[in-house]
Each structure stands twice: as structure tokens, then as C-alpha cells.
Amino acid sequence: MSEQLKFSQTPVVFLHGWGLNHQVWSQLVLALPKELDIRTPDLPGFGLSPCPESYDIDSVLTQLAEQIPDQSILIGWSLGGVLAIALASRYPEKVQKLGLIASSPCFMAKDNWPGMEGRVMQQFAGQLQQDLALTVERFLAIQAMGSSTARQDIKLLKQAVLSLALPSATALQGGLELLATLDMRQEFAALTLPVFSILGRLDSLVPVAIAPLLQSLRPELQLAILQKSSHAPFISHQQEFISLLLPHLSD
């Protein structure tokens, strides 16, 4: 498909999810057309990125904005997607087009909005206090749950985590707090730029039931569902994922 598409030099920026780092994109980047200008910054406090003193949305967005060129195509996975919505809303000059991978403007379940149950989030927060590494590992397992390639997916996710130092407790707890408290639905609906979304039908963290709700918030949203994928479609179903992604990156 990439042979028929023409790509500009618009920067394409990928933001990873909670507990991980930029290495999670390494296999995808190798498989994407070489002419794309791809950037994979680490979220603040993860991978090689310094941790802000106060892990709040303002500090996180300020630090991220410094790493994102103006007029980028910004693509966020999981927590990275929520932050991408916030960034596009607060720094509109940074984002030309927004993409969400297995992400929701509101991760937590609320009235008439499917998402993660509060008790599950509280369990993770409690476990973090006792064992950082084990909690991250459990979270990775949930991300792959439902995928027919779950074992291989977990292996690749763990490789990404272990390739760099484990994030600090401050970043892990702060990231969970953002997932638990951010509700970007109004900002998502108000964005004045093109937005696309790729969901996995078997995703246990971002239920596919949000698809019609996303569409109602943004009737012009370009939304695709990978039928056999769970939370990490760019790992478990790379070729299918790329075939959905590339049209959004072309001129």
C-alpha cells in the first residue's frame, strides 16, 4: 500500500503508554516507510526522559510540548492518547492531525461511558507501593489479554520495558493518577483538526463499546476496529495496523 501513497516530511510523533518507553515502537518504526520523519519521545519520567518534580498534567504537557515539532501528526497509544488529546487542545500549533491507538479520552468507567473500573485502578495503585516491577508486569499482561498472540505480545512489551531503567515510582504513580483522573471528552469533541482512532475489539482496557460514543462526540471521526486485536495492535497485528495507519500519514 505504501508504494501508492506519497508522504510529506510532516513529523510523525508517537507517544507510548503507561509503564513503557519509546522502545515499544521499535518494531513498528522498522516496518514503516523510511521516508517518514518519525519521532518517539519518552513520556516524562519514563525511558530516558527526566521526571518532573510535580507529576501533574501541566508539568507533563509542558515537558512533552518541548519535544514535539510544530504541525506534527501526533499519535498516542493508551495513556499517550489521552495526553495527545490534552496536548492538541492546549498547544494547537503543535498538532496538525491527531491519532489515537487503543485509547480513550476518559479511561475510567463513568455513567454511560465504558472504561476501567475504579477498584481495578485502586488495586494497581496499591500494588505499586509494594512492588514496582511486578505491577508493571501485571499491567503488560492485561494489555495483551484476549490477543491470540498474547504470549509473544507480552514478551515484546517486557523487552521494551527492560531495555531501559524502570521508571521512577513518582512517574508510575503520577501516570496512574492521570489515567484515573483525566476526562478529556469535552476537549476531544472541541478539537478543530482531523482525528482518527484505531481500536482493538478484544481490548480489556479500552472497551470497543466506546466506538459509537467517540463517533457521537466527533461525527467526522475516522474510526477503525481491528477484530482480532487487544490493547497493542501495532505489536500483535502489525501489518493490518500499518495498512490502517498509512493513509492517515500520506499527503
| Look-up of cell digits 499482561 | 141
Question: Where is 76: in which H helix or E strand?
Answer: strand 72-77
d(CA 83, CA 86): 5
Residues facing 38 on adjacent strands: 12
DSSP line for 198-209: EEETT-SSS-GG
The amino acid at 2: S
> Looking at the domain assignment, is residue 64 inside a domain?
yes
| Grid cell locating 100 | 489515537
d(CA 248, CA 250): 6
The pLDDT, as a whole number, for residue 138 is 85
> Looking at the domain assignment, is residue 4 inside a domain?
no
* pLDDT by residue, tens only, the chain of 251 residues: 445 788 878 999 999 999 999 999 999 999 999 999 999 999 999 999 999 999 999 999 999 999 999 999 999 999 999 999 999 999 999 999 999 999 999 999 999 999 998 888 888 778 887 888 888 888 888 888 888 888 898 899 889 888 898 888 899 999 999 999 999 999 999 999 999 999 999 998 999 999 999 999 999 999 999 999 999 999 999 999 999 999 999 87
d(CA 209, CA 31): 30
> Looking at the domain assignment, is residue 3 inside a domain?
no
Query: Which range of residues forms the domain containing residue 142?
Result: 11-249
> Looking at the domain assignment, is residue 6 inside a domain?
no
**Per-residue pLDDT tens over the stretch 85-135:** 999 999 999 999 999 999 999 999 999 999 998 888 888 778 887 888 888
> Looking at the domain assignment, is residue 2 inside a domain?
no
Q: Which residues in 3-34 are b (16+ Cβ under 10 Å) and which e?
A: eeeebeebbbbbbbbbbbbbbbbeebbeebee
> Looking at the domain assignment, is residue 5 inside a domain?
no
CATH number at residue 77: 3.40.50.1820
| Look-up of cell digits 463499546 | 209
The number of domains in the chain is 1
> Looking at the domain assignment, is residue 1 inside a domain?
no
* Positions marked catalytic: 78, 203, 231
